[in-house]
């Protein structure tokens, strides 16, 4: 039997709002309708190059801090970049971002690094900006579901 595909979700949250987004993403990815995907969740502080190399798809979540991705997410990229660069080209990915302003600093800083990794964006980023609106969490669970269902169906 073919090995189960693995969706890796890596995120960081200090005050809990990105974590709420991550919980919704995980819920979507683990939807009962999608049976054959392993969903692995790691903090950006602990995810390793091996985690990324074993993944069939990846979702990354961070708050925007000081106009950039969080320090933890930057540490993640610093940890995995060179070990993974030649081995993860084309990895399907999506992003979720929590920001007090518009989140463009976090988005562009991550996108620039991911361009160097040659990963493949397969879903639009979900950004909750300004006041935290719980009703945007549906877009987060959709993001998780889209990645998991796409892997399950062999689309990515």
Ligand X SMILES: Cc1cc2nc3c(=O)[nH]c(=O)nc-3n(C[C@H](O)[C@H](O)[C@H](O)COP(=O)(O)O)c2cc1C
Measured from the Cβ of residue 33, the count of other Cβ atoms closer than 10 Å reads 8
Binder among 17, 31, 38, 142 for ligand X (CB under 6 A): 17
CB nearer ligand X, residue 18 or residue 56: 18
CB 61 within 8 A of CB 9: yes
Question: Is 18 an interacting residue with respect to ligand X (CB under 6 A)?
Answer: yes
Q: Is 82 exposed, middle or buried (0-12, 13-18, 19+ CB in 10 A)?
A: exposed
Using an 8 Å Cβ cutoff, are 8 and 123 in contact? no
Phi-psi region of 64 (alpha: psi -120 to 50; beta: other; left: phi over 0): beta
Spell out, one character per residue from 77 to 116, where the chain touches ligand X: x when CB under 6 A holds, - when not. Answer: ---------------------xxxx---x-----------
CB 57, min distance to ligand X, A: 22
Report the alpha-carbon angle 86-6-15, nearest 5: 95
CB of 48 to ligand X, least distance (A): 22
User: Token match 């030649």: residue?
Assistant: 86
| In the complex, minimum distance from the CB of residue 78 to ligand X, in angstroms, rounded to a whole number | 19
Task: Map residues 43-82 to x or -, x wherever contact with ligand X holds by CB under 6 A.
Answer: --------------------xxxxx---------------
Interface ranges with ligand X (CB under 6 A) = 13-19, 63-67, 98-101, 105
């Amino acid at each position: 039997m073919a090995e189960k595909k693995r969706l890796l979700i890596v995120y960081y949250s200090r005050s809990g709002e990105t974590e709420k987004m991550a919980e919704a993403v995980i819920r979507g990815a683990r939807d009962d309708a999608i049976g054959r995907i392993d969903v692995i969740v790691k903090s950006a502080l602990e995810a390793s190059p091996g985690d990324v190399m074993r993944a069939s798809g990846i979702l990354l979540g961070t708050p925007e801090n000081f106009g950039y991705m969080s320090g933890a997410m930057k540490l993640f990229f610093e940890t995995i970049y060179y070990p993974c660069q030649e081995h993860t080209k084309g990895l399907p990915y999506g992003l979720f971002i929590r920001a007090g302003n518009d989140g463009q600093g976090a988005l562009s800083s991550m996108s620039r690094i991911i361009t160097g990794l040659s990963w493949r964006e397969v879903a639009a980023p979900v950004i909750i900006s300004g006041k935290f609106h719980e009703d945007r969490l549906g877009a987060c669970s959709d993001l998780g579901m889209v990645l998991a269902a796409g892997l399950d169906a062999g689309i990515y």
